[in-house]
């Protein structure tokens, strides 16, 4: 697909109610990471995309050939599960409960993993549930939401094959046609999926991260605080290759908060990664190469400048 076709695709997505963004593989432009021109800073906060922006992106990043869709108003169930019968069962469960509300758009990049699109006008943050497969591998179910994106079109960086859609595709199906979902329903659906995996496919629930209640306003994580159990939770995640981005980021914040210099924090995180039991594949290398940025962000971002943007 040439750049004009890519621009036309993104314009069609916009016309049908989606918010497209350019991607290098699975990630938006990031200076020094996937291109030497410029990063698409603040993409996590984008709410609308204009035709002028789409045209500009085509000129600025002509080699960003993949296209993502922001999930703020298009929350997406992302099934990072490697058991094909289990994934098919989950897809059928989604169809059974939501097909009457609208078309079920299923995107497949690296089978049997898949993503299913929904819509909302009540944005919610990412929902994550981790499960342990019978072989001991940690897999996950995510509902991508406000501040995330999902790859919609292009070539999968590992399979080198085009992403495929089943049951329709965004741009030909409008966002407004998709099944509607609210945060509470999304959480319930994720819980149902975990129950299916545990009951029928011999998975087990992964250890969850402890939460800190703040003045009765609900429980949330405190990336820079927490007791010994929280430190161990993050260290175990990194060793097992689980939620690497978030775990490295939060552990970097905790190290800096405890008085560790940014350089020493980077070295400790690298050592943990090098000793991890997960495959040292492209995903692992991407996270390993992010570590210096994570150390810098932890030092000067939330602990130094509360509004500093995430730059990776």
Domain of 127 in residue numbering reads as: 76-201
Contacts of 244 (CB under 8 A, 6+ apart): 237, 238, 273, 283, 284, 287
Residue 74, pLDDT > 90, answer: yes
Total structural domains in the chain? 3
DSSP assignment of 72-116 equals SSS-EEEEE---HHHHHHHHHHHHHHHGGGS---EEESSTT-EEE
In a domain, 173, yes or no: yes
Give the CB-side neighbour count of residue 208, counting CA atoms within 13 A.
Answer: 10
CB 181 within 8 A of CB 120: yes
Q: Token digits for 119? A: 């819509």
Residue 98 lies in a domain: yes
45 and 123 belong to one structural domain? no
Angle, nearest 10°, between helix axes 228-240 and 262-274? 50
What is the distance in angstroms between the CA of the first residue and the CA of the last residue of the chain?
A: 27
Co-location of 265 and 166 in the same domain: no
Alpha-carbon gap, residue 221 to 246, rounded angstroms: 12
SS (H, E, C) 150-208: EEEECECCCCCCECEEECCCECCECHHHCCECCHHHHHHHHHHHHHHHHHHHCCEECCC
Residues 278 and 232 reside in one and the same domain: yes
- The answer to whether residue 229 scores a pLDDT higher than 90 is no
Q: Is 307 inside a domain boundary? A: no
Residues 228 and 189 in one domain: no
Domain of 36: which CATH number? Answer: 3.30.720
The Cα 253–Cα 297 span in angstroms is 8
In 3D space, the residue among 179, 160, 10, 18 whose CA is nearest the CA of residue 105 turns out to be 179
Residue ending a domain, choose from 70, 90, 110: 70
Shared-domain flag, residues 251 and 194: no
Name the nearest CA neighbour of 128 among 143, 150, 149. Answer: 143
Percent of the chain with pLDDT over 90: 64
Same domain, 237 and 197: no
Q: Could you tell me if 228 and 234 are in contact, meaning their C-beta atoms sit under 8 angstroms apart? A: no
Q: Indicate the burial class of 5 (C-beta count within 10 angstroms; 0-12, 13-18, 19 or more).
A: exposed
Q: How far apart are CA 149 and CA 44, in angstroms?
A: 8
Mean pLDDT of the chain: 88
> What value does the mean pLDDT take over residues 199-210?
86
> CA separation (Å) from 147 to 62, 77, 259, 273, 302?
24, 15, 30, 26, 17
Q: Is the dihedral of CA 73, 126, 168, 57 positive or negative?
A: positive
The pLDDT assigned to 304 comes to 35
Residue 98 sits in the same domain as residue 193 = yes
Q: Is residue 244 domain-shared with residue 264, that is, in the same domain?
A: yes
Is pLDDT above 60 for 156?
yes
- Of 222-226, 276-280, 285-289, which one has max mean pLDDT? 285-289
**What values do phi and psi take at 177, rounded to 5?**
-80, -20
Which one has a higher pLDDT value, 3 or 83? 83
CA distance 266 to 306: 21
Residue 301 confidence (pLDDT): 47
pLDDT digits over 171-180, tens only?
A: 999 999 999 9
* Distance, CA of 156 to CA of 116 (rounded, Å): 17
Helix (H, G, I), strand (E, B) or coil at 11: helix
- Higher confidence at residue 70 or residue 290? 70
312, pLDDT greater than 70: no
User: Which range (102-106, 129-133, 241-245) has the least confidence?
Assistant: 241-245
**How does pLDDT run across 118-131, given as a tens digit for each residue?**
999 999 999 999 99
Stretch 74-102: mean pLDDT? 97
């Amino acid at each position: 697909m040439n750049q004009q076709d890519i621009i036309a695709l993104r314009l069609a997505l916009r016309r049908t109610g989606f918010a497209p963004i350019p991607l290098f593989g699975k990630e938006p432009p990031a200076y020094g990471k996937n291109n030497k021109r410029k990063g698409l800073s603040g993409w996590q906060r984008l709410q609308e995309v204009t035709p002028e922006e789409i045209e500009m992106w085509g000129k600025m990043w002509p080699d960003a050939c993949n296209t993502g869709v922001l999930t703020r108003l298009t929350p997406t169930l992302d099934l990072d599960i490697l058991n094909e019968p289990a994934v098919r069962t989950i897809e059928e469960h989604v169809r059974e409960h939501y097909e009457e509300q609208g078309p079920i758009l299923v995107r497949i990049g690296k089978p049997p993993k898949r993503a299913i699109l929904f819509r909302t006008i009540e944005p919610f943050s990412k929902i994550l549930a981790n499960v342990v497969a019978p072989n001991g591998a940690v897999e996950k179910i995510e509902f991508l939401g406000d501040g995330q994106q999902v790859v919609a079109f292009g070539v999968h960086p590992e399979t080198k094959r085009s992403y495929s859609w089943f049951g329709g595709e965004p741009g030909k199906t409008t966002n407004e046609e998709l099944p509607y979902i609210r945060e509470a329903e999304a959480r319930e659906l994720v819980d149902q999926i975990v129950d299916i995996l545990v009951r029928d496919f011999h998975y087990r629930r992964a250890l969850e991260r402890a939460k800190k209640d703040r003045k009765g306003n609900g429980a949330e994580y405190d990336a820079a605080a927490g007791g010994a159990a929280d430190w161990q939770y993050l260290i175990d995640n990194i060793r097992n290759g689980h939620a690497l981005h978030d775990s490295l980021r939060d552990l970097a914040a905790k190290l800096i908060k405890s008085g560790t210099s940014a350089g020493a924090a980077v070295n400790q995180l690298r050592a943990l990664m090098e000793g991890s039991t997960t495959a040292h594949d492209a995903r692992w290398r991407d996270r390993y190469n992010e570590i210096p940025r994570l150390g810098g962000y932890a030092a000067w971002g939330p602990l130094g400048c509360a509004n500093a943007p995430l730059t990776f």
